[in-house]
Amino acid sequence: MRRRAGRRARAGAGAPAWVCALVLVLLAATAGGCSAPRGTSDGVVRLRFQSLAWQKESVDANRALVAEWNAAHPEVQVQYVQGSWSSVHDQLLTSFEGGEAPDVIHDASDDLADFAYGGYLADLRPLLSERLKADIPDASWETVTFGPDGGVYGVPFLQEPRVLMANTELLRASGARIPTPEAPWSWEEFRTAARQLTAEGRYGVAWPLKDPVSATLNLGLSAGGRLFHRDAGGKAAIRWSEGDAVVPATIRAQTETDRSASRATLGMGGSDTLPGFFGGRYAMVPLGFSYRQQIVAQAPPGFAWQVLPPPAGAEGLSQGVSPQTLSVAQDSPYKKEAAAFIDFLLSPANMVRLARGDWMLPTGTRALADPALRTPELGWATGAALAAGLRPAPAQSVRGYPEWKDKVATPALQEFYSGAIDLAELEKRLVGDGNRVLARYQR
Amino acid sequence: MGPARSRSRTPRGVRAAQYTALAGYLAFLAFPFLWLLSTAFKPARELGSLHPTWIPEDPTLGNFRQAFAEQPLAQAALNSLVAAVCAAVLAVALATPTAFVLARRRGRLATAATGWVVISQAFPFVLVIIPLFLVLKNLHLVNSLPGLILVYVVWSLPFALWMLVGYVRAVPPELEEAAAMDGAGRLRTLVSVVAPLLAPGIVATALFAFITAWNEFFFALVLLKTPEKQTLPVVLTHFLGAEGAADLGPLAAAAFLATLPSLVVFAVIQKRITGGMLAGAVKS
């Protein structure tokens, strides 16, 4: 026992030394310390640009543009920082609170309201060039305009409409009229076409409704649905109209009555439906425009597909979007330089590069007119034709919308689409419970 | 003899059912890892197949190449390794003497300290992150691995402490009395007598702290800003787009690589846990 204790005593005495050595070596291996200085005594301004680009082509385009800027502007150097869409809100909120936010911030317009009202973002009105102001349509600027004095807290630069990805072979064989942006399907025609495309072992359409709120609300604009309304004083309220019922009622009818839509996909994300689309199990899938990239990468050889416009209602091909945006942090000491970098990044030619990298549409009118984004290949022309109908998502600037979305609308719509509640109960929950949520934010 | 007797009493059918259940459980546990492995080697076309196969029909290393080309995975893995090892070592170094005191000193203070340890586990990340961020900023430790390691140590310390208190209480106090009789002081007793007997507990606690730090995402996301400092869980999210879209092949390849160190560490250490436990059983 004593001999064993002695052996252990030697081992124990040695342990702290090697443990300390290990910790020191590992720390030394990655030492580098604290945040990079934002401006230094050498007179060079250093900006941090946090980008949420994630697809290879998109990351490449962003990095290339940063490199080009840095080469041309030795006095203002931009550091590219890769962010990620997941948890970006919490990450930015913490950075703002701690005074460590990036100078140039990439985000989506529906995420900006809280930051804008919280005073974390710079009002860009005095900073933006006339060229950029004029190049982006008013409808897009509306998505980043907040507060009673109409401050502009971001530059909307990329957006994506929802479209119908269709199996070309099945569509032609069904005999259904093939819609175009000039002559789209009505919602009733869409229902008929989905029935025509339905056969043994195949559904006419697969709705991926893991996130049912944005799809329902944004497509609902075409039928005149808004759900969110503002009074003269700018106070938001939820009201139900006939137009608000069109999209949910159509989807419910397709799954319950027509059996032309798969119930299984209601809980899926967009990517989850692609194998069924490729395998001929679903003839059409409503997806964001950028999903074309995944289809191109994953579709089996010989698979023929095409992009169709979404159904149109009383308001034509209108639909809601939340564009991707570039903002400047209020705490940044280099707002002018940051705005100049944004101006460079969003020149028409560069906007085209960013749009192609993300498989989305640019907001800028000159970029949108670029022939590269008007080609019929891969549905670019169809998407570009939809741009005129894109509107700010109705709820995006409403304070309390995220809580309404998570606590009220998502469960209510999921229950409705699954058949657990009827349309009257859906309306009661979205409006009644929803207005109680909004009231707390508007006292 | 005892275990042998009990084995002989188990009917063969029951034993077969037990093994079948065990095999099923292992298969259930292994499924996500094996599917990840399979996905990592599949080309994009197979990822979109309606009838996916376990064995890739046309296996490729392209996903690994793409993952390394697009993101600084090697640097991120090194950062994660440093953070996890340092957090584990420091957590154990701090928790061991504290656990010894808490286990041996009974009183209101020890009870209150233990209660605080339990309560502190209930705080959600989002509640503490902003004050924590401000504290670290004042210490100039934002965007630095030492800052992240400090957070991980603080975060894993309560549970590490809780685990080790249990292990310390399992060590017979008579051994310490014997050491005292031999003339050993408190520190000497802790280092030479108690610590070796605590080896399985220390290893298990270190493993817990290592895996917690290795997998942690939110603190790393918020605290580390520049690409060269980011850890693996943060870099993995760079393969994810908005609304759940994902670059599945490279994501699977990177995630598969990210799971390997945990598996290796566990495979190496679990033998020590078992060995230590058996050694402890014989001594007591």
**Identity of the residue in B133, B145, B243 whose CB atom sits nearest the CB atom of A27:** B145
- Residue-level pLDDT at B7: 53
Mutate to test the interface with B, among A271, A331, A358 (most CBs of B within 10 A): A271
Average of per-residue pLDDT values in chain B? 85
pLDDT at B63 over 90: yes
The verdict on a CB contact (< 8 Å) between B234 and A84 is yes
In a domain, A24, yes or no: no
The verdict on a CB contact (< 8 Å) between B240 and A300 is no
Partners of residue B71 in chain A, C-beta under 8 Å: 82
Q: How far is B176 from chain A (nearest CA, A)?
A: 12
Report which of residues B146 and A55 the model is more confident about: B146
- Do both A332 and A286 map to the same domain? no
Closest residue, chain A, to B230 (C-alpha): A82
- Do both A67 and A155 map to the same domain? yes
- Do both A116 and A227 map to the same domain? no
- Do both A285 and A419 map to the same domain? yes
The verdict on a CB contact (< 8 Å) between A85 and B66 is no
The verdict on a CB contact (< 8 Å) between B144 and A32 is yes
Closest residue, chain B, to A18 (C-alpha): B89
Which residue from A158, A141, A218, A219 is spatially nearest to A393, judged by alpha carbons?
A218
Region at A400 (left for phi over 0; alpha for psi -120 to 50; beta for the rest): left
Report which of residues A285 and B168 the model is more confident about: A285
**Identity of the residue in B52, B93, B239 whose CB atom sits nearest the CB atom of A54:** B239
**Identity of the residue in B50, B66, B130 whose CB atom sits nearest the CB atom of A97:** B130
- Residue-level pLDDT at B8: 57
The verdict on a CB contact (< 8 Å) between B191 and A12 is yes
- Do both A416 and A375 map to the same domain? no
- Residue-level pLDDT at A41: 60
| A161 CA to centre of own chain | 10
The verdict on a CB contact (< 8 Å) between B193 and A8 is yes
pLDDT tens across B106-127, in order? 778 878 877 877 777 777 777 7
- Do both A191 and A291 map to the same domain? yes
Q: How far is A211 from chain B (nearest CA, A)?
A: 8
**Identity of the residue in B44, B93, B193 whose CB atom sits nearest the CB atom of A5:** B193
CB contacts < 8 A (A, B)? 175
Chain B, 188 to 217: residues with Cβ < 8 Å from chain A are 188, 191-193, 195-196, 217
CATH class of B70-273: mainly alpha
- Do both A205 and A351 map to the same domain? no
Tokens in use for A177?
A: 């009229």
- Put simply, whether B49 touches A (Cβ < 8 Å) is yes
- Put simply, whether B60 touches A (Cβ < 8 Å) is no
SS (H, E, C) chain A: CHHHHHHHHHHHHHHHHHHHHHHHHHHHHCCCCCCCCCECCCCCEEEEEEECCCCHHHHHHHHHHHHHHHHHCCCEEEEEEECCCCCHHHHHHHHHHCCCCCCEEEEEHHHHHHHHHCCCECCCCCCCCHHHHHHCCHHHHHCCEECCCCEECCEEEEECCEEEEEEHHHHHHHCCCCCCCCCCCEHHHHHHHHHHHCECCEEEECCCCCCHHHHHHHHHHHHCCCCEEECCCCCEEECCCHHHHHHHHHHHHHHHCCCCECCHHHHCCHHHHHHHHHCCCEEEEEEEHHHHHHHHHHCCCCCCEEEECCCEECCECCEEECCEEEEEECCCCCHHHHHHHHHHHCCHHHHHHHHHHHCCEECCHHHHCCHHHCCCHHHHHHHHHHHHHEEECCCCCCCCHHHHHHHHHHHHHHHHHHCCCCHHHHHHHHHHHHHHHHHHHCC
- Do both A218 and A124 map to the same domain? no
Q: How far is B226 from chain A (nearest CA, A)?
A: 6
pLDDT tens across B256-277, in order? 999 888 888 878 777 666 655 5
In a domain, A59, yes or no: yes
- Do both A359 and A419 map to the same domain? no
Q: How far is A346 from chain B (nearest CA, A)?
A: 21
- Residue-level pLDDT at B281: 43
The verdict on a CB contact (< 8 Å) between B243 and A288 is yes
* Exposure on the CB side of residue A125, measured as CA atoms within 13 A: 9
- Distance CA(A88)–CA(A108), nearest Å, equals 10
The verdict on a CB contact (< 8 Å) between A26 and B81 is yes
Closest residue, chain B, to A26 (C-alpha): B82
- Residue-level pLDDT at B76: 94
pLDDT at B225 over 60: yes
The verdict on a CB contact (< 8 Å) between A12 and B195 is yes
User: CATH code at A142?
Assistant: 3.40.190.10
- Put simply, whether B234 touches A (Cβ < 8 Å) is yes
**Identity of the residue in A12, A22, A29 whose CB atom sits nearest the CB atom of B192:** A12
Size of chain B in residues: 284
In a domain, A5, yes or no: no
In a domain, A90, yes or no: yes
Per-residue model confidence as pLDDT tens for chain A (443 residues): 444 444 444 433 344 444 445 555 555 555 444 444 455 567 899 999 999 998 888 999 999 999 999 999 999 999 999 888 878 888 899 899 888 899 999 999 988 988 998 999 999 999 999 999 999 999 999 999 988 888 999 999 999 999 999 999 999 999 999 999 999 999 999 999 999 999 999 999 999 999 899 999 999 999 999 999 988 777 899 999 999 999 999 999 999 999 999 999 999 989 899 999 999 999 999 999 999 999 998 899 899 999 999 999 999 999 999 999 999 999 999 999 999 999 999 999 999 999 999 999 999 999 999 999 999 999 999 999 999 999 988 887 788 888 899 999 999 999 999 999 999 999 999 999 999 999 998 87
The verdict on a CB contact (< 8 Å) between B89 and A297 is no
- Put simply, whether A388 touches B (Cβ < 8 Å) is no
The verdict on a CB contact (< 8 Å) between A271 and B245 is yes
**Identity of the residue in A15, A27, A87 whose CB atom sits nearest the CB atom of B146:** A27
Closest residue, chain B, to A322 (C-alpha): B242
Range of the domain at A82: 35-159+324-384
The verdict on a CB contact (< 8 Å) between B49 and A279 is yes
The verdict on a CB contact (< 8 Å) between B237 and A84 is yes
- Do both A255 and A348 map to the same domain? no
User: 10 Å Cβ neighbour count for B57?
Assistant: 10
Closest residue, chain A, to B237 (C-alpha): A84
Query: What are A286's strand-pairing partners?
Result: A164
**Identity of the residue in B50, B217, B229 whose CB atom sits nearest the CB atom of A279:** B50
- Put simply, whether B145 touches A (Cβ < 8 Å) is yes
Partners of residue A300 in chain B, C-beta under 8 Å: 45, 48-49
- Do both A58 and A95 map to the same domain? yes
- Residue-level pLDDT at B283: 44
The verdict on a CB contact (< 8 Å) between B142 and A100 is yes
- Do both A413 and A380 map to the same domain? no
**Identity of the residue in B51, B126, B226 whose CB atom sits nearest the CB atom of A81:** B226
Closest residue, chain B, to A299 (C-alpha): B45
Partners of residue A97 in chain B, C-beta under 8 Å: 130, 133-134
Q: How far is B57 from chain A (nearest CA, A)?
A: 14
Q: How many domains does chain A have?
A: 2
Rounded CA Rg of chain A: 26
Partners of residue A276 in chain B, C-beta under 8 Å: 50
- Residue-level pLDDT at A441: 85
Which residue from A307, A310, A361, A288 is spatially nearest to A165, judged by alpha carbons?
A307
Which one-letter DSSP state was computed for residue B107?
Answer: S
- Distance CA(A52)–CA(A86), nearest Å, equals 10
pLDDT at B177 over 90: no
- Domain(s) labelled CATH 1.10.3720.10 in chain B stretch across 70-273
pTM of the full predicted structure? 0.82
